[in-house]
Amino acid sequence: MTIRGLPLLNFGFDTQSRTPLDSGISDSGSPSYDDETTVKRWYHYIPVCVVVLLILAPHPSLLFMLVDFHLLTMDQYLVFGIHLFVTYALTFLAFSSLIVCIARDPGPIVIPQPVGSSDADDSLNFTEALMTSSEDYDQHSGWCRKCWSPRPERAHHCQMCGRCVLKMDHHCPWLANKCIGHRTYPAFIHFLTCITLLALYIAVVSIFALKYAFTNPLGVNEVTPMHELGLAFAGIVISLVIGPFLLYHFYLISTNQTTLENVTPFMILRDLPPLPHGNHFLSDPPLEAELSSAQRRLVKDAHGYIRLYDLGWRKNWFQNFGWVHKKTLLFRLFFGGSSMGDGKHFPRNPKSDELLARLAKELVNSEDPHS
């Protein structure tokens, strides 16, 4: 997490100008975490305004079609009420999860205070920070040298946000230029699901109404088929655009991967065990730039079957959307909620350690002795 665009850990000087850091600290002496309102610019919100406009744009035509076709033409008052309820229920749920994605922090890296420290002293020196990292995070944790904060497993540094995010999935410019992480990923999936279902529903309703207009051209308003055609086209296009993206994330959830973990095969290098002793020149853990073409192929092939956090699709879905109480289930249905756990520690696939050890051995054996 950053403090008004500055690193969470600072040593009293700006890293570029070497001037004292007096911004980002409130009058009470405690750091202010309102970085989103100071870093964001007005043009960062243009894409999300376009998203809102695309959600609301079909509704005037939809209301005209429902009133003219189901009420005035077919006298289907119950069907009209059902279509109206489903459409605006999905719209309301989509906006609920959209607000959560924009307003909620995706996953802050909060450094716990040492035992016995006072609340007034909110800064940690370098030694205390290193001690905190080693004690509070497991062996797969690291240290981010860009924002100077502990980096738990599955956390990544976002260049656009200038901070690390717990279980970062990706940076989304369409949602107010924010990251999708541990605390917003279920809401993001909820939003995609509602948008896809809404587009499909509008498309199906419009296609049935358009079919009636073609078979009964004299019994309908001559303007209504134009609205039905436009709604059907828009619904199909949005479904074809958002639907495959949603199915891709269903696959990621079923295999317990993030987008970054899925598209970046060399990320597993940092999880390798110590390399076997021998005559090799690889770092420990190896760096991507050090690998030969044969070693890079080994890593890419291993990325297809080494799923570090895959516990089976049932446990994977529960880890992302599980609930403990009935009230939390209501939150999941209402706006998606947040993922289970603290976002810092994740159970691992019991077979992953053996597969990683095998990959480490193969990387050493495949190294060119003359390189």
Question: Residue ranges of the domains in the chain?
Answer: 259-365
Mean pLDDT of 276-289: 82
Contact assessment for residue 332 and residue 186, using Cβ atoms and an 8 Å cutoff: yes
pLDDT on residue 16: 37
pLDDT above 80 (res 341)? yes
Least confident of 119-133, 296-310, 334-348: 119-133
Round to whole Å and give the CA distance between 163 and 24. Answer: 15
Q: Report the SS3 class of residue 195.
A: helix
Round to whole Å and give the CA distance between 231 and 193. Answer: 19
Contact assessment for residue 31 and residue 111, using Cβ atoms and an 8 Å cutoff: no
C-alpha separations of 74 from 71, 83, 210, 219 in Å: 6, 14, 13, 10
Catalytic site residue 144? Answer: no
Contacts of the segment 272-277: beta carbons below 8 A, 24+ positions apart: 272/356, 272/359, 272/360, 272/363, 273/353, 273/356, 273/357, 273/360, 274/360, 275/360, 275/363, 275/364, 276/360, 276/361, 276/364
Q: What are the φ/ψ torsions at residue 41 (nearest 5 degrees)?
A: -110, 165
Least confident of 137-146, 273-282, 308-317: 137-146
CA 134, distance to chain mean position in Å, is 27
pTM: 0.81
SS3 content of the chain, % helix, strand, coil (to 5): 55, 5, 40
The two tokens of residue 236 are: 């199909």
Given 161, 172, 179, 194, the catalytic residue:
172
Q: What are the φ/ψ torsions at residue 87 (nearest 5 degrees)?
A: -65, -50
Least confident of 136-150, 179-193, 290-304, 306-320: 136-150
pLDDT on residue 41: 85
pLDDT on residue 40: 76
Least confident of 23-32, 176-185, 191-200, 282-291: 23-32
Least confident of 195-199, 224-228, 337-341: 337-341
pLDDT on residue 23: 34
- pLDDT tens digit sequence for 35-88: 443 457 888 899 999 999 999 999 999 999 999 999 999 999 999 999 999 999
pLDDT on residue 369: 54
pLDDT above 60 (res 208)? yes
pLDDT on residue 235: 96
Percent of the residues in the chain that have a pLDDT greater than 70, as a whole number: 80
* For the ranges 208-217, 247-256, 296-305, the one whose mean pLDDT is highest: 247-256
**202/219: higher pLDDT:** 202
Q: What are the φ/ψ torsions at residue 169 (nearest 5 degrees)?
A: -95, -55
pLDDT on residue 139: 40
Half-sphere exposure of 2 (CA within 13 A, CB side): 21
Q: What is the mean pLDDT of the chain?
A: 81
E strands, the chain, are 142-144, 149-151, 156-158, 163-165, 170-172, 178-180
Residue 78 identity (one-letter amino acid): L
- pLDDT tens digit sequence for 77-133: 999 999 999 999 999 999 999 999 999 999 988 765 555 554 444 444 444 444 443
Question: How does residue 25 score in pLDDT terms, banded at 50, 70 and 90?
Answer: very low
- Rg of the chain over Cα atoms, rounded to whole angstroms, equals 26
Q: Report the SS3 class of residue 142.
A: strand
- The secondary structure of 285-296 as a DSSP string is SPPGGG--HHHH
- pLDDT tens digit sequence for 140-186: 447 888 877 788 889 999 988 888 999 999 999 999 999 999 999 99
Q: What are the φ/ψ torsions at residue 14 (nearest 5 degrees)?
A: -70, 140
Percent of the residues in the chain that have a pLDDT greater than 90, as a whole number: 53
What is the CA angle 94-98-102, rounded to 5?
175
pLDDT on residue 4: 41
The two tokens of residue 244 are: 């495959």
Round to whole Å and give the CA distance between 273 and 308. Answer: 13
